[in-house]
Amino acid sequence: MSRKNRKILFIFGTRPEAIKMAPLMLALRDTPGFVPRLCVTAQHRGMLDQVLRIFNLKPHHDLNIMRPGQSLFDITASAMRALEEVLKRERPDLVVVQGDTTTTFTASLAAFYSSVPVAHVEAGLRTGDKFNPYPEEMNRLLTSRIADLHFAPTKTAAEALRAEGAPRGSVHVTGNTVVDALGIIRKRVETPSRAKKLARTFPFLKEFDNVVLVTAHRRESFGEGMQNICGAIRKLALKNPYAAFVYPVHLNPNIAKPVRKALGVINNVKLIEPLDYESFVYLMLRSRFIMTDSGGVQEEAPSLGVPVLVMREVTERMEAVDAGVARIVGTRESRIVTEATRLLSDDTSIRKMRRARNPFGDGRASERIIKVLKKYFQ
């Protein structure tokens, strides 16, 4: 490798990270002067592999740390031990991490221990409550203390970083790379042959006037929160038999068990296996609106013009709420039912949310990040 080339080591472990890193890796691969390398912890195995296949990414290092019933202690300890050897072998010029997973923080700490600078993609998201979302809020706070380059998706995120003392020259507003990824996948999904094939995957959609996509899996929703979410979906489904409530159920037993118990026998609630990313984008595009506790979906759906009801008490993506593309409804059953019923019955509200400006970028985030990297290594 020429000394002019800079080795950039991407480290991630979950599906959302892979989706948001893929367009940047692909763009950097075609940029002279850079050699991108990929290490996956496989904190989430199957869902990660789906994205790697879709974007044709092949890891140079696969740590394969996922174990049944793994705890945050397990993930952190396993990743740290394995990353020490990877960093010794690779000796990268820069480590790139994304978002707020345990892999993100652990990789940043490992890079710091190895005296390797860190770039943080999707930096600066904050709720102000270290236990909500858990453990993500603390993961991203700690990562920000380590990172040398902060790629903030919005001006609000950049302001949060500067308020915490990040050097002004280290913070760059780029937009969110998820918009880049969605642009790639949407083109595939909307080709006639692929759209026809995907439609055959969900034959039940023909039976219903409207589709409501549901995702709920967060740790802070375990227990009472999930019971309330399931109770709301049950009421909504029974009151609206001509709407399909499609729920790809997370494999975690803390989610799967209460969901299948509460919703498994309702005809218009379709409990399905976790989806590959192309299928998920197809369903988002088919949906009247989405009910979610996911962080990423709050960015993805507005990028596709689909309204979002956020089933969380707080969100680190207030830009979506402020722009009018999302509403926070919490995890109280009655509030969820009220807001979802409004969107099912009121076409004016739906049209207003669909027309709102997408606050997360224009699909050129990767381009802006690479421009900063070129300047950083001059």
Say if residues 110 and 84 touch (Cβ distance below 8 Å). yes
Q: Which of 37, 44, 120, 122 does the annotation list as catalytic?
A: 122
For 335-356, give the DSSP string: HHHHHHHHHHH-HHHHHHHHHS
| Best CA proximity match to 367, nearest among 184, 180, 188 | 180
CATH superfamily of 6-176+362-376: Glycogen Phosphorylase B; (3.40.50.2000)
**Structural domain spans, the chain:** 6-176+362-376, 193-355
Report pLDDT digits (tens) over 280-314.
Answer: 999 999 999 999 998 889 999 999 999 999 999 99
| φ, ψ for residue 365, nearest 5 deg | -65, -45
C-alpha span between 117 and 94 (Å, rounded): 5
Q: Which of 250, 286, 335, 368 does the annotation list as catalytic?
A: 250
Active site residue 84: no
| φ, ψ for residue 79, nearest 5 deg | -65, -45
Active site residue 136: yes
Q: What was the pLDDT predicted at 3? A: 54
Region 188-211: mean pLDDT is: 94
Active site residue 219: yes
Round the average pLDDT of the chain to a whole number and report it. Answer: 94
Report pLDDT digits (tens) over 219-259.
Answer: 777 778 889 999 999 999 999 999 999 999 987 777 888 89
**Same topology for domains 6-176+362-376 and 193-355, yes or no?**
yes
Report pLDDT digits (tens) over 51-105.
Answer: 999 999 999 999 999 888 889 999 999 999 999 999 999 999 999 999 999 999 9
Q: Which of 37, 150, 217, 288 does the annotation list as catalytic?
A: 217
Three-class SS state of 150: strand
CATH superfamily of 193-355: Glycogen Phosphorylase B; (3.40.50.2000)
Q: Catalogue the long-range contacts made by 80-83 (C-beta closer than 8 Å, 24 or more residues apart).
A: 80/106, 80/109, 80/110, 82/41, 83/11, 83/39, 83/41, 83/107, 83/110
Question: Is the pTM above the cut of 0.75?
Answer: yes
Partners of 214 in the β-ladder = 291
Region 95-121: mean pLDDT is: 98
Q: Which of 6, 15, 44, 100 does the annotation list as catalytic?
A: 100
Percent of the chain having pLDDT more than 70?
A: 99
Is 1 a residue whose pLDDT tops 60? no
Range with lowest mean pLDDT among 73-82, 158-167, 172-181, 222-231: 222-231
Report pLDDT digits (tens) over 23-35.
Answer: 999 999 999 999 9
Q: What was the pLDDT predicted at 61? A: 98
Three-class SS state of 126: coil
What element of type H or E holds 370? helix 365-376
